[in-house]
Chain A
């Protein structure tokens, strides 16, 4: 495998843009990435486009990538859609990495776009992809993460206040991110007293819906030197799917454990060497769980870990300096590549008011999708990507 670098990134602001088209959002992000990399559009040899719910919401199952890139003068090359639940964008990034690492191409693009406000019925949550029976029986994503929280509180003594601190930290970080959807700080009390969705998750414990796009340009180490003096190295890009396990524990996502172990091994470093992480905080208990499963703290100590301040900007391992999904929103196909954009800005020292000083190594983590299973199953897809300055 060859060493692969990221030489350009782009991202639209995340928010609710029902009047815009998903193609327009995609083009804005791709154009920014091309300009950031200073690469002519015609040099792109292949593109991988993450999008997850465009079939249901926009009557477009396929082809977002081709349509986005056509207008930017990129056509004729291999372009494919990548759908993998919440990890659609990060899986597209991993496919792009693989295509360069393998030696097949020298310079490629990963992009992701989603427009969740396009949903047909206003004010109702989009039901989860592919879990028809569970949904008929009353399931929704917050019911899964609320049960994670209940069992974590029972087994490890995690508190509602500790869960709320995830939202407090991420909302505070977002105040420094002009591309985040919600840029207003909240207090623990405000999180706890917000309307109850699924106990113990209140409205402020859940990531909002949203629209947006993000893109990254990847190329071989040799070629990177032609375009930039500061390439960001892809030290690892790992994809796993959920394992079928009898009577598994709900308080760990084994996919995250397995993906991060492999990523650390491939990158030749351990969690203690990370300077910054963007993790999949779809609901507040998820971030607590990810601390533990990524090895940032021991199992069961995630609640105490956030309370210690370790994951704030200025702490030992700042998590979600961008504001996370909780502040940005979660346009599924774009989320994973937006995490990559944030890490690239952090590792270049371009993250402005939310900069993690001296960040050299960053980790991005996505986890999502549910199995249509009446036996307790873990999430369907997990990615862990490690970038180095």
Chain B
């Protein structure tokens, strides 16, 4: 089960611990000015407030803004794999994300994407690391 695997970084996303739970990205929303950031941060660059940022789950539905398919992989990755920027209209965010699709050739700018948690790569010891991804819905 994914919950037993190490996340690529702590604090970016919630890993479901029961079958009923859904994964989500952990954002931060400023109480003072209302802006949302990903990931959650300490200071609000918008209104320069400190201590006003609260943890919020981000929407799991997005729209693909741009993408690329990597054919010459760095260490720990298997080619081909895809990266992109995904728009979360509800939070007015455009975020970096590994992408998933049944066939990477089907990726298209403007398509609808859905948050998933999947294996991303391996660490130096060969252990799998899991990460959030956005998966093509079509």
Contact = CB atoms under 8 A, between A and B. Distances in A.
Interface of A: 124-125, 127, 133-140, 143, 146-148, 150-151, 154, 195-199, 244, 246-248, 250, 373-376
Contacts of A197: 70-72
Contacts of B35: 246
B38 A375 contact: yes
A133 B131 CA distance: 11
B96 A376 contact: yes
Given A147-B85, A248-B94, A198 B75 contact: no
Contacts of B75: 124
Contact of B74 (A125, A196, A246, A374): A125
Contacts of A248: 94
Nearest to A246: B92
Shortest Cβ-Cβ A-B pairs, 9 listed: A146-B68, A151-B66, A196-B71, A147-B66, A247-B94, A376-B94, A154-B109, A199-B69, A197-B72
Among B66, B73, B94, max chain A CB count under 10 A is at: B66
Nearest to A121: B75
A374 B67 contact: no
Contact of B93 (A124, A125, A150, A247): A247
Contacts of B121: 136, 138
B39 interface: yes
Interface in B81-103: 81, 83-85, 87, 92-96, 98
B interface, over-half SS: strand
Nearest to A199: B69
Interface residues of B, number: 36
Interface string B24-61: 00000000000101110000010000000000000000
B65 A138 contact: no
Nearest to A250: B66
B72 A195 contact: yes
B120 interface: yes
A135 B73 CA distance: 12
20 contacts: A125-B74, A133-B9, A137-B8, A137-B83, A137-B98, A137-B131, A138-B73, A138-B121, A139-B83, A147-B85, A148-B66, A197-B72, A198-B69, A198-B72, A199-B69, A247-B93, A247-B94, A250-B66, A375-B37, A375-B93
Contacts of B67: 147, 150
B63 to A, nearest CB: 11
B71 A198 contact: yes
A139 B92 CA distance: 23
Contacts of B69: 198-199
Contacts of A138: 70, 73-74, 77, 81, 83, 98, 120-121
Contacts of B94: 246-248, 375-376
Nearest to B37: A375
Nearest to B131: A137
Interface string B1-41: 00000001100100000000000000000000001011100
Contacts of B66: 147-148, 150-151, 154, 250
Contacts of A136: 8-9, 121, 129
A158 to B, nearest CB: 13
B99 to A, nearest CB: 10
A83 B121 CA distance: 32
Contacts of A244: 45
A288 to B, nearest CB: 15
A141 to B, nearest CB: 11
B77 to A, nearest CB: 6
Contacts of A246: 35, 92-94
B72 A376 contact: no
A151 B120 contact: no
A250 B86 CA distance: 12
